[in-house]
Each structure stands twice: as structure tokens, then as C-alpha cells.
Amino acid sequence: MAQSDLLVSSWCKNVKSLPADYIMPPEKRTTDFSVSKDIPVLDLGQEAGRGRSALIQQIIKAGEEFGAFQVINHGVSDDLMHEAMRVYEEFFSLPVDDHESLLSDDFYKSVRLYTSGYNYANEDHHLWKDTLKHPACAHPQDEVVQGWPDKPERYREIITKYSVEVRKMSVRILDLICEGLGLEEGFFRGELSQGIGMVINNYPPCPEPSLAMGIHAHCDPYTLTVIQQQVYGLQIKKSGKWIGVDPLPNAFVIMIPYQLQIISNGKLSSCEHRGVTNTSEARISVVTFCGPSKESVIGPAKEHVSASNPPQFKTYKYLDFQMNYLYHLSKKNLCNETALGPYLL
């Protein structure tokens, strides 16, 4: 079958029941749809004023307890957030011909439109989503933009602005985390946040959400994950229980990925999360992340290691971590044991 015919969005419209290869085995299904108001919503506007130290404390507490929080007053304008979401709605409704050149089943390709998980041909059960991924840009003249989709017409202009602004916000948040963890100033500013990219997931309305899955439970491999969502579907795991993240207008969800857990020697927890679908509304999540450059050497920061607090993790090169993560993702056994196991002391 042609790649384009596999995209869920290309065939799902008149489907009344879930095709057999989208029905998850019972242990992978989701029944819990409750939205929690407990996940902290933090006002980044406090950063500049007298609220700064309180904000830092709130960020660290949220990172310890939930591995996630939402931010408002974050400096990215409501208009730009809205326009970026519009661009992606348009992108995912383009005719098949406009998607053809982006479709690929090679999961190492840096710009890629694909369906389901990382390796469709190798899956027993497919995910109810289509995904576009590409590197992000850090400044307006960045040449990575040349490899991006060129439709809809405003794609490159809007997404350049969006990724530059989201990157600025991410660096501000990493600076606050740096201060909260007592690390040297600028700790995250160099190679630890240079690997930047975007993953945009489209979950069309699904006829039987309780049998399907949007995205399997996982923690992200990066340094910081930022998610824009307008429709409910994101859940995080806290103390063994799944809780739903309320899609607040104009807020971003910030998630603590593995590298922050390791650098903080386990003080911050990486956030395990998954995505569920619904029957009535398409859901798009715009994920913007920063990660270390491939050659970065990472391990618990010296400020978090002492005789009474020995290192919990080895020191390794990020490329090695990333390859191990992708390997287990492609083998369908990605979890904390396989992703972190080789790096535990």
C-alpha cells in the first residue's frame, strides 16, 4: 500500500469501528479519562520581579512531584500560538499529493511524515495518529527551515517565528531550573540545549477510543519538552496513577525528560506520559523540544553528588543514550528499565 494511504487521516473519516490492527490488547487500553486540576499552573511572568525565587521553587517542586507543569504568561503571544495551531490544522488537511514528498518509513530521516509509531511495518497494533517531525530553528535565518514543508504557504514563516519564540521560553525555563538546582549559571545554555526539534501529532476523531491508543506511555529522551494542545488527550503518570492534563487556552505543558532526571541525580523525575483519543474532535499536539547535541557528555551534576548522595547514573555520551532509546522504541519495549537501565549505577 502507498505510504499516503496508510495515514489515519486519509481513511478514518467514514470508519465506524476500529480496524482489527488498531485494537490494543487489554493491558494497553485506557479507561481513565479524568482531568486533574492538581498539575501546577505556573505564572512565568513572575520571573522578572520579586516573585522569581517563589517561581523557581514552584518549578522545582512540580518537577519533583509531577515531572510536569503548565506555564502561562510565558512570552509567546496568543496570536502566534493560535496561528501555529492553524498552520498544523491546514497541514494535516492538505490533499495527499502535497504530503507525498514528506512521507517516509525511514525512522532516522530528520524530516518525516509518518503514521502510527516509529516503525509501522514492525508493529502488532498501530497507534491512532499521524506525525510530522523536523529539526527546529533557533534564529530566523536558520537554514534548517529549507528542509521543512512548504505548504500551507505560511508554514515556514509562522513556524520559524513560533520555534524561535518557544526556544527563547525554553531557555528561560532551563535557566530557572538551573538556578533552582544550584548549578553554574548558563549550565543548560550550551550543548545541552542545542539539539532542537519539533514533533507534531495529529489524532483524528476515533470511533472507539477505549480500544485504541494515541501514543504509548513513554518518557522523552530530551532536556526539555514543551507541548501546545487545545483538546484533551495528554495524560501523565503520578504515583502509579494516570491523570489527564487540562488543555488550558494559551498555556504550554512543560515536561521533565530523562536528561534532567539524570543531571539532577534523580531530584527531578522524568514525566511518563501517553496520549488518548476521543470520538468527536481531532487533536493536534505541537511538541517542541531541546536536547543535547550528539557529542555532549552527560551525567549527574557535581552539585548533586556527595558522599551521602552518591551518583545514581553513569556518565555517557548523548548519542549513545539516544541510540539505545531508539533501539528499544523500534523493538517495542521502551520503558524506564530499557531506557535508563544501561546508565544506572
Residue 198 lies near ligand OGA (rule: CB under 6 A): no
Is the CB of residue 60 less than 8 Å from the CB of residue 174?
A: no
Is the CB of residue 91 less than 8 Å from the CB of residue 267?
A: no
Provide, rounded to whole angstroms, the least separation between the CB of residue 80 and Ni ion.
Answer: 22
Provide, rounded to whole angstroms, the least separation between the CB of residue 153 and ligand OGA.
Answer: 26
Given candidates 126, 167, 273, 328, which one binds ligand OGA under the rule CB under 6 A?
Answer: 273
In degrees and rounded to multiples of 5, residue 54 shows phi and psi of -65, -40
Residue 234 lies near ligand OGA (rule: CB under 6 A): yes
User: Residue 44, Cβ neighbours under 10 Å: how many?
Assistant: 20
Residue 189 C-alpha cell reads as 545554555
Residue 316 C-alpha cell reads as 555517557
Residue 311 lies near ligand OGA (rule: CB under 6 A): no
Is the CB of residue 128 less than 8 Å from the CB of residue 214?
A: yes
Q: Which does 181 bind (CB under 5 to 8 A by kind): Ni ion, ligand OGA, none?
A: none
Q: Is 90 helix (H, G, I), strand (E, B) or coil?
A: helix
In sequence order, the 6+-apart residues with CB closer than 8 A to the CB of 184 are 178
Q: How many residues bind ligand OGA (CB under 6 A)?
A: 12
Residue 219 lies near ligand OGA (rule: CB under 6 A): no
Of 239, 203, 201, the closest CA to residue 220 belongs to 201
Q: What residues are paired with 132 via a beta bridge?
A: 113, 200
Q: Which residue is nearest to ligand OGA (CB)?
A: 285
Residue 272 lies near Ni ion (rule: CB under 5 A): no
Provide, rounded to whole angstroms, the least separation between the CB of residue 225 and ligand OGA.
Answer: 7
Q: Which stretch binds Ni ion (CB under 5 A): 36-44, 79-87, 147-155, 213-221?
A: 213-221
Q: Which stretch binds ligand OGA (CB under 6 A): 4-12, 13-21, 119-127, 225-233?
A: 225-233
Which residues sit at the interface with ligand OGA, rule CB under 6 A?
A: 199, 201, 215, 220, 227, 229, 233-234, 273, 275, 285, 287
**Residues engaged in binding Ni ion (CB under 5 A):** 220
